[in-house]
C-alpha cells in the first residue's frame, strides 16, 4: 500500500537523523586515519645465540709437589718406604685391594697414593679408578697439568707402581661405588678397601706398644673379620667414618648395592641406612692417622721420612739445599709424562738417611697435615679444591670447568630430591625416623617436609 503524504512527512526526520549519524561516524574514521602515524619498520633482532659476558682468570700453573718423582724412571728412583712401615716381602695371605676414585685435581690424588705407599700399602694392591670422562687422553699424555681432569698416568703406573683403571664414561659417586663392588664380585673377592682421594694417611708412630704400620693394622682388621670367633654380621668397617672403608662384598651385594638414582650426597645415607635396616653392623676400626685435606704438602718427600746425613754440619745442610734447588729447577715443565729429565735422585739418596721412628720428621709431618685439615674445616666450601684448575681449553674432551661444576651441582640436587621422595623423609636419619626395608617409595611425606619446622 503506498504511503500517504502525511506518513512520508513523519518518516523524514528519522531518515535525516540516520544520515547525520552515518556522516558523523564516517568523519571520525577519516580523521582517525589522518592522525594515525605509520609504524616504523621493526628493527631486525640479532641472529644466533647471545653469549654470556665471561671473564675468567686462568689459575697459575700447578707447582711440582714431588720433585723426586718427576726425576724418576721407576720405583727404585724414589725414597724407600720407611723400614718400620715396609710391608712383608711376601704378600700377606689376605687380599688388601684398595680402590681410589679420581675425577679432578691431580695433586690430591698423588698425595693420597704416596701417603698409602709410605704407610706400607703395597703399590700393586692400589687401584686408581680414573673417572674423568676423557677416555685414554691421560694414558696418551694429551692433557696438561692445568686441566682439571689431568693425572700423570706414567708416574702412577711406572714410578709408583699402582694400577689405573679408566672408566668408559664419567660416573657418579654411587655408580663408582657399584663399579668397585662389581669388579670385586667378578674377581671373587670377599672384601676390599676403598678410600676418598682428599685425605692423607700416616702410621701411629707415637704408639709403640708394639708398633704396627698403617697397612698391617688394616690387615689385622681383615683377619679379625675372617676369624671363626668373629660372629658379627658386618657390612663394613669404618676408618675415620668412610674416609677409608673395609667392605664386605656379600653384605653389599645382598641389599642390591648403591642406589644409582641417588648419585652423590645422600647416597651414603641411603646405603648405610639400608644396611642397618637389614641388621648389618658397621663397626669403627683404627689403622692410623687419617687427615681430611684440601691441598698437598709442598714436597711429598716428607712422607718417606728422610733426613740429611751429618745434619749437624752446616756444609752438609747447604749441600742438601743445593740438591733440592737443582731438583726444583729441573722440574719446571708444562706437562707430566716427560721422563727425559736426568735423575738427580742418586745424590739425594746417598746424602740422606732414614729418620727415627716417631722422630722430628714425624712431628713435622703431623703438624703440617693438621694445619691443612684445619684450613679445610674453616673453608665455607669444603670441596673448593675441586675448582682450582680451569685450564685445558682446546685439549681432547675439554669441558668448560664452570659449566661442569654447575651441572654437577644440579645433578647433586636432583639426587637429593630423589632420596627424599624415596623415603618420604628429609635428612640422613632414615632408620631413626622409623622407616624400614620395603618402605621405599611407599610412604607419604613426613614432618621434615614442613618448611616451617625446618627453619
Closest CA to 400 of 49, 48, 50, 54: 54
Backbone phi, psi, residue 124, to 5°? -70, -15
Q: Do 122 and 214 meet the contact criterion of CB atoms below 8 Å apart? A: no
Tell me which residues of the chain have a pLDDT lower than 70.
1-46, 311-344, 380-388, 451-455
Residues paired with residue 236 on neighbouring β-strands, in sequence order: 247
Tell me the C-alpha distance between 119 and 219, whole Å: 13
* 336, burial (CB in 10 Å: exposed 0-12, middle 13-18, buried 19+): buried
Compute the Cα dihedral for 179, 180, 181, 187 and give only its sign.
Answer: positive
Residue 429: DSSP 8-state? -
Which pLDDT belongs to residue 367? 97
User: pLDDT digits over 110-166, tens only?
Assistant: 999 999 999 999 999 999 999 999 999 999 999 999 999 999 999 999 999 999 999
Tell me the C-alpha distance between 202 and 291, whole Å: 9
Which pLDDT belongs to residue 346? 75
Q: Do 102 and 132 meet the contact criterion of CB atoms below 8 Å apart? A: yes
What is the bridge-based pairing of β-strands 306-308 and 284-285?
unpaired
b/e for 85-105, b at 16 or more Cβ within 10 A? bebeeeeeeebbbbbbbbbbb
Which pLDDT belongs to residue 343? 47
Its pTM stands at: 0.83
Helix (H) or strand (E) holding 377: helix 360-378
Q: How open is the CA angle 354-357-358, to the nearest 5 degrees?
A: 125
Which pLDDT belongs to residue 62? 86
Which pLDDT belongs to residue 33? 57
Residue 58: DSSP 8-state? P
Tell me the C-alpha distance between 409 and 65, whole Å: 29
Residues paired with residue 201 on neighbouring β-strands, in sequence order: 290
Which pLDDT belongs to residue 27? 66
Amino acid at each position: 500500500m503506498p504511503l500517504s503524504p502525511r506518513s512520508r512527512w513523519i518518516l523524514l526526520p528519522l531518515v535525516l537523523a540516520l544520515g547525520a549519524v552515518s556522516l558523523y561516524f564516517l568523519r571520525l574514521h577519516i580523521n582517525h586515519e589522518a592522525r594515525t602515524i605509520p609504524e616504523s619498520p621493526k628493527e631486525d633482532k640479532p641472529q644466533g645465540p647471545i653469549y654470556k659476558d665471561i671473564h675468567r682468570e686462568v689459575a697459575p700453573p700447578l707447582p711440582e709437589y714431588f720433585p723426586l718423582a718427576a726425576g724418576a724412571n721407576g720405583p727404585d728412583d724414589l725414597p724407600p718406604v720407611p723400614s718400620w712401615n715396609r710391608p712383608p716381602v711376601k704378600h700377606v695371605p689376605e687380599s688388601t685391594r684398595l680402590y681410589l676414585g679420581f675425577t679432578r685435581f691431580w695433586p690430591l690424588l698423588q698425595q693420597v697414593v704416596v701417603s698409602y705407599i709410605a704407610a706400607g700399602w703395597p703399590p700393586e694392591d692400589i687401584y686408581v679408578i680414573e673417572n674423568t670422562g676423557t677416555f685414554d687422553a691421560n694414558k696418551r699424555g694429551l692433557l696438561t697439568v692445568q686441566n682439571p681432569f689431568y693425572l700423570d698416568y706414567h708416574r702412577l703406573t711406572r714410578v709408583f707402581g699402582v694400577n689405573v683403571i679408566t672408566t668408559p664414561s664419567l660416573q657418579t659417586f654411587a655408580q663408582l661405588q657399584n663399579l668397585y663392588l662389581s669388579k670385586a664380585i667378578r674377581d671373587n673377592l670377599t672384601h676390599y678397601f676403598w678410600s676418598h682421594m682428599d685425605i692423607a694417611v700416616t702410621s701411629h708412630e707415637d704408639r709403640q706398644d708394639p708398633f704396627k704400620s698403617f697397612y698391617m693394622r688394616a690387615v689385622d682388621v681383615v683377619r679379625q673379620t675372617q676369624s671363626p670367633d668373629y660372629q658379627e654380621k658386618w657390612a663394613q668397617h669404618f676408618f675415620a667414618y668412610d674416609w677409608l672403608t673395609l667392605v664386605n662384598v656379600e653384605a653389599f651385594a645382598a641389599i642390591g648395592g648403591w642406589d644409582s638414582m641417588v648419585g652423590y650426597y645422600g647416597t651414603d645415607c641411603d646405603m648405610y641406612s639400608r644396611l642397618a635396616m637389614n641388621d648389618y653392623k658397621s663397626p669403627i676400626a683404627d689403622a692410623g692417622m687419617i687427615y681430611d685435606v684440601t691441598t698437598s704438602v709442598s714436597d711429598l718427600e716428607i712422607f718417606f721420612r728422610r733426613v740429611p746425613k751429618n745434619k749437624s754440619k752446616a756444609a752438609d745442610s747447604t749441600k742438601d739445599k743445593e740438591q733440592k734447588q737443582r731438583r726444583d729447577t729441573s722440574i719446571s715443565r708444562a706437562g707430566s709424562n716427560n721422563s727425559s729429565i736426568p735423575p738427580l735422585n742418586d745424590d739425594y739418596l746417598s746424602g740422606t738417611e732414614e729418620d727415627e721412628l716417631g722422630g722430628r720428621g714425624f712431628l713435622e709431618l703431623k703438624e703440617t697435615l693438621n694445619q691443612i685439615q684445619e684450613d679445610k674445616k674453616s673453608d665455607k666450601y669444603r670441596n673448593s679444591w675441586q675448582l682450582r684448575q680451569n685450564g685445558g681449553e682446546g685439549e681432547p674432551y675439554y669441558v668448560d670447568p664452570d659449566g661442569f661444576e654447575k651441572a654437577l651441582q644440579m645433578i647433586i640436587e636432583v639426587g637429593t630430591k630423589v632420596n627424599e621422595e624415596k623415603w618420604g623423609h628429609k635428612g640422613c636419619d632414615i632408620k631413626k625416623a622409623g622407616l624400614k626395608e620395603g618402605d621405599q617409595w611407599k610412604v607419604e611425606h613426613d614432618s621434615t617436609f614442613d618448611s616451617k619446622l625446618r627453619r
